[in-house]
Amino acid sequence: MQGLMMDRALTIHSILDYAERNHGQREIVSVTADNPCHRYTYSDAFARTKQLANALSSLGARMGDRIGTLAWNDHRHFEIYYASSCNGMVCHTINPRLFEQQLIYIINHAEDKVLFTDPAFIPLLEQLATKLDELPILVVLSDKANMPKSGSLKLICYETLLEGESPQIDWPDFGEDTAAALCYTSGTTGNPKGVLFSHRSTLLHAYAVALPDVFNLSTRDSVLPVVPMFHACAWGIPYAAPLVGAKLVFPGPKMADGATLHNLMESEQVTLALGVPTVWLALLDYLRINDLKLTTLNRTVVGGAACPSSIMDEFRETFGVTTHHAWGMTELSPLGTLNSPNSEWSELNTEQRAQQRLKQGRGICGINLKIVDENNNELPWDGVAFGALKVRGPWVCSDYFKLESESSAHHADGWFDTGDVASIDEQGFLKIVDRSKDLIKSGGEWISSVELENIAMTHPGVQEAAVIGIADEKWTERPLLVVVPKNGADVDTSDLLMHFDGKIAKWSIPEKALLVAELPHTATGKISKMQLRQQVKSG
Ligand code: AMP
């Protein structure tokens, strides 16, 4: 028997309609290249969104066309998200930090019809232009007064494009499975792969992340996504914030600037900020050096890479801010799990609670998790057994966009193989042991690089740490610790290695450590172990 409920498509328009009607006066504040503090409301934003949607049609963009963005987090990028998707087009966010070859591949593969770019990326586009199969129509995210010049490219000014366009629109009618956004993930081998989010998956993900035990979002929040809008749609914040009417604060090109982040947090009364661990290391450093406080921030969400306990401890003890560890992947829109305490935690002692906090958290309702051994047999949720992590759910990608060859991550059994290795405890808390290719096999035993890094980060002189496996004749592989010392700290390698004593099994403690001025990072701000391995190999 069928239910008797209205068949209304789950599309992104519903977020726009809701926020416009119910939270029209909530603010969106942005730092942009042409304005250090742009301020307007959801009403203003969505009126301009409709002007932009009309402008896209005037430029000749049609349903299904990819609309590229090379842009930081700001209000114009937000407008493009909605104008393209609600118009039946696909918002294709591009990570400007990728290598030139990857950018060329991605833009060619996506066949972007229009490309919106921040002024700062014009020199990059001038370099890429001749190598692209077809040059998209280029629109610069700027006002007229600050338009950059280009000798070789024809550039349209964003604000001029909007002028004269109507803020009225009849959105086209389409189904909830229509593609809404596209984001490429850059694996360590092969070409980047496109994850194509639908309206349905985006809306369901937005509802899910707003839940109390996930981002716990409400209209009383002021949210600062430091995670870029080109990194898995800033973890869904541009959709989830208007879905509850939360204020949005965008740091623009100043993502990595401690002073800007602190100023925004204080002046805009930010309550929630989200980002990868590297960003928080930089901010905490800045706060420490300048003896500053955070008066309104009450929680951060840290994900994209394992969050060291040192970040959680400093946020909590010095600033009274709770850190929630989250795990996800672009392929999961991106959120899969988030760590928030359950009632059983009240029975844990301080050390047990600290261990539990470090885990990546429980699966969100809608996402199924399982861990399997090498024969695909499911392993128990006992907090001890670990194996390949597989997931499925309505916001998990079922295939990659226009992939030339079959993806081994999608198997016939309907589960997506994440490439991560994990354990899950009796209460459902996931612990990422490692990326499968980063696990170290030594004397037949597995060593988790993540666990060693966590311990290294508790040393008072360590700013950042990475552990990689290096070939060893006797043991196959041994862990090598690579450390960036804190500014001015007098760190010595034997002291660093002694720091592991008593904290982990003796055989898994590294024998060697290197001190370096900096570690290589990926385009999304994570430590690049692939590059680090190459650097160590080449001495
Ligand atoms: P991306 O698609 O670029 O966001 O990368 C996803 C990958 O980042 C995952 O498969 C994990 O290997 C890693 N990752 C994300 N969040 C965490 C976390 N909290 N702890 C450890 N690894 C993480």
Q: If you measure from the C-alpha of residue 276 to the centroid of ligand 1, how many angstroms do you get, rounded to a whole number? A: 10
Please tell me if the CB atom of residue 306 comes closer than 6 angstroms to any atom of ligand 1. yes
Q: If you measure from the C-alpha of residue 329 to the centroid of ligand 1, how many angstroms do you get, rounded to a whole number? A: 6
Shortest-distance atom of ligand 1 to CA 432: 21
Catalytic residue, chosen from 295, 402, 446, 507, is 446
The pLDDT of residue 236: 98
Residue 476 is among the residues annotated as catalytic for this protein: no
| Residue 322 domain-assigned (yes or no) | no
Mutate to test the pocket of ligand 1, among 231, 327, 433 (most ligand atoms within 8 A of CB): 327
Pair 325, 302: CB distance under 8 Å: yes
| Residue 473 domain-assigned (yes or no) | yes
DSSP calls for 470-537: EEETTTEEEEEEEEEE-TT----HHHHHHTTTTTS-GGGS-SEEEE-S---B-TTSSB-HHHHHHHHH
Nearest CA to ligand 1 atom 23: 305
Q: If you measure from the C-alpha of residue 172 to the centroid of ligand 1, how many angstroms do you get, rounded to a whole number? A: 36
Pair 158, 138: CB distance under 8 Å: no
Buried b (16+ CB within 10 A) or exposed e, 203-231: bbbbbbbbbeebbbbeeebbbbbbbbbbb
The pLDDT of residue 539: 80
Helix axes 13-22, 42-58, angle to 10 degrees: 140
Q: Which residues have C-beta within 8 Å of that of residue 252, sequence separation ≥ 6? A: 30, 31, 32, 33, 72, 73, 74
Q: If you measure from the C-alpha of residue 193 to the centroid of ligand 1, how many angstroms do you get, rounded to a whole number? A: 16
Nearest CA to ligand 1 atom 15: 304
Task: Give the HSE-up count for residue 329: Cα atoms under 13 Å, Cβ half-sphere.
Answer: 25
Give me the tens of pLDDT residue by residue for the chain, a chain 539 residues long. Answer: 999 999 999 999 999 999 999 999 999 999 998 899 999 999 999 999 999 999 999 999 999 999 999 999 999 999 999 999 999 999 999 999 888 999 999 999 999 999 999 999 999 999 999 999 999 999 999 999 999 999 999 999 999 999 989 999 999 999 999 999 999 997 656 789 999 999 999 999 999 999 999 999 999 999 999 999 999 999 999 999 999 999 999 999 999 899 999 999 999 999 999 999 989 999 999 999 999 999 999 999 999 999 999 999 999 999 999 999 999 999 999 999 999 999 999 999 999 999 999 999 999 999 999 999 999 999 999 999 999 999 999 999 999 999 867 677 776 789 999 999 999 999 999 999 998 889 998 888 889 999 999 999 999 999 999 999 998 888 889 999 999 999 888 899 999 999 999 998 898 999 999 999 999 998 888 899 989 999 998 88
CA-wise closest residue to 298 among 285, 315, 284: 315
The pLDDT of residue 331: 96
Please tell me if the CB atom of residue 327 comes closer than 6 angstroms to any atom of ligand 1. yes
Threshold 0.85, pTM exceeds: yes
Residue 347 is among the residues annotated as catalytic for this protein: no
Instruction: Give the structural domain span for 480.
Output: 440-537
| Residue 103 domain-assigned (yes or no) | no
DSSP calls for 120-160: GGHHHHHHHHTTSSSPPEEEESS-GGG----SS--EEEHHH
| Residue 291 domain-assigned (yes or no) | no
Catalytic residue, chosen from 331, 451, 453, 464, is 331
d(CA 467, CA 532) in angstroms, rounded, equals 9
Residue 446 is among the residues annotated as catalytic for this protein: yes
| Residue 465 domain-assigned (yes or no) | yes
Dihedral sign (CA 252, 110, 231, 334) = positive
| Residue 521 domain-assigned (yes or no) | yes
Provide φ and ψ at 337, rounded to 5°: -140, 160
The count of structural domains within the chain is: 1
Residue 163 is among the residues annotated as catalytic for this protein: no
The pLDDT of residue 510: 95
Provide φ and ψ at 477, rounded to 5°: -140, 150
For residue 50 the two structure tokens come to 């409709």
| Residue 484 domain-assigned (yes or no) | yes
Instruction: State the CATH number of the domain containing residue 448.
Output: 3.30.300.30
Pair 183, 194: CB distance under 8 Å: yes
Please tell me if the CB atom of residue 453 comes closer than 6 angstroms to any atom of ligand 1. no
Shortest-distance atom of ligand 1 to CA 186: 3
The pLDDT of residue 189: 62
CA-wise closest residue to 203 among 242, 169, 231: 242
| Residue 503 domain-assigned (yes or no) | yes
Give the three-state DSSP class for 39: strand
Q: If you measure from the C-alpha of residue 21 to the centroid of ligand 1, how many angstroms do you get, rounded to a whole number? A: 36
Q: Which residues have C-beta within 8 Å of that of residue 428, sequence separation ≥ 6? A: 362, 363, 381
Q: If you measure from the C-alpha of residue 57 to the centroid of ligand 1, how many angstroms do you get, rounded to a whole number? A: 37
